[in-house]
Amino acid sequence: MSLDKSRDLYNKARTLLPGGVSSPVRAIKPYPFYTESANGSKIKDIDGNEYIDYCLAYGPNILGHANPTIKQAIINQLEKGWLYGTPTDLEVNLAEKIVSLYPSIDMLRFVSTGTEATMSALRAARGFTGKNKFVKIEGGFHGAHDAVLVKAGSGATTLGKPDSLGIPEDFTKNTLQVPFNDIEALTQVIEKNQDDMAAVILEPVMGNIGPVLPEGDFLKDVRKVTEENDVVLIFDEVITGFRLAMGGAQEYFGVTPDMTTLGKIVGGGMPIGVFGGKKEIIEMIAPSGSVYQAGTFSGSPASVAAGLTVIDVLEKEEVHKNLNATGDMMRSRLSEIVADLNLDYNVVGIASMFKIFFGDKPLNYQDVLKCDKEGYLKFFFKMLDSGVFLPPSQFETNFISTAHSEEDIEKTLSAYEANLK
Ligand code: PLP
């Protein structure tokens, strides 16, 4: 397999873009492949190599790349213009749809990224409660804004840089951390800081160090302790929203938070973010209230048109049943392979998310850090050589789309078996 064109482009790119990329996780060493195009389950690089893709742009492309129905919806919108700076019926329709599917959301605002969604959700929770502190889970990733870049997952963990330079301590002093699946630690932190505790934000399934799943009644217990202490509970469903079920992890696990953030799938692969919640909290947002939030690209018509279309397809074709069954099958076949090869690895995941952990089954961030991440990276390159593109890190989740055929899955399982040997 030749990657000569990618290598040459990388040499130029790194003089122009830090690390040669526009976002850190893409910086595979010694150099990433640069993409020429993608269609269905496949992604093609500029050297002409084609891979079955389980990265899927880190989650948004649940119907695969360049899905024809979404493409047509975007084209139809482009014909009418793609940015107005005025409200549209599209955003009202998408808001209505989301509200009907997420019982935690009475009202919402559209933004352009998941980062903006969690930043604004935390601001709203603080504005609403008049309190400053919030709890995040160690290893939880909520985007790249100052207050949440403490023990953050995703690229920050992959690169071994859980914290960032350039963030004054004052900006993170109200960010308190507890391990995932540890209700005692969470309860203690909330009770100790009750006078100034605004919110708890968490990924119901930790997708940026995993997936790491909630154990037993953890999510229900989190709901109980936040309710008892008047703390706003925010589910960051940027990955899990529309992935686990139409109503996200909150539908899947039957736990309703006070606020929810969405992104990725809800824009059909176009840039989007959403934060929503109880009416009394969201009405605090400007111009109806005094919590300021604004954006030139918020409610971008092409993103909203793509979002309405993806939801329509997911709903009409009842996609989750089959997709989640494929995930179950994939995890069980991978577990058999791991067992047959006598490996001390663990297959984890839920719905259409999966991963092999090169180590014991993790319950939290500290467990995850113990896995063999260098070994995983070697395995990643072998898979690439076999024509399978997994996210290039032990800490990023693999996703399945409706575009993955049986043939793709069988080819992928054979590649796992051959490369794990
Ligand atoms: N929240 C979660 C759970 C995420 O996984 C991500 C991104 O991966 C974000 C927030 C940030 O979203 P974005 O990259 O669109 O800013």
User: Over the stretch 189-227, which tens digit does the pLDDT of each residue have?
Assistant: 999 999 999 999 999 999 999 899 999 999 999 999 999
Atom of ligand 1 nearest to the CA of 118: 10
Q: How far is the CA of 337 from the centre of ligand 1 (A)?
A: 32
Cβ of 257 closer than 6 Å to ligand 1, yes or no, is no
Handedness of CA 394, 16, 385, 66 (dihedral sign): positive
The interface pTM score, or ipTM, of the predicted complex is 0.99
pTM to 2 decimal places: 0.97
* Confidence (pLDDT) at 164: 87
Cβ of 398 closer than 6 Å to ligand 1, yes or no, is no
Per the CB < 8 A criterion, the answer to whether 29 and 36 are in contact is: no
* Amino acid (1-letter code) at residue 10: Y
Diameter of the chain by CA atoms?
Answer: 60
Atom of ligand 1 nearest to the CA of 263: 15
* Confidence (pLDDT) at 158: 59
Residue 261 in 3-state DSSP?
strand
Q: How far is the CA of 398 from the centre of ligand 1 (A)?
A: 15
Q: Whose CA is nearest to atom 8 of ligand 1?
A: 143
Atom of ligand 1 nearest to the CA of 240: 3
Supply the DSSP symbol for 212: B
- Tell the CATH topology of 4-66+318-420: Aspartate Aminotransferase, domain 1 (3.90.1150)
- Tell the CATH topology of 68-315: Aspartate Aminotransferase; domain 2 (3.40.640)
Residues ≥6 apart with Cβ < 8 Å to 53:
38, 41, 42, 43, 65, 389
Atom of ligand 1 nearest to the CA of 273: 15
What element of type H or E holds 69?
helix 68-79
**pLDDT tens across 281-340, in order?**
999 999 999 999 999 999 999 999 999 999 999 999 999 999 999 999 999 999 999 999
Would you kindly state where each structural domain of the chain is located, as residue ranges? 4-66+318-420, 68-315
Q: Where do the DSSP E strands lie in 24-137? A: 35-39, 42-45, 50-53, 107-111, 133-137
* Confidence (pLDDT) at 163: 76
Cβ of 118 closer than 6 Å to ligand 1, yes or no, is yes
The stretches in the chain having pLDDT less than 50 are none
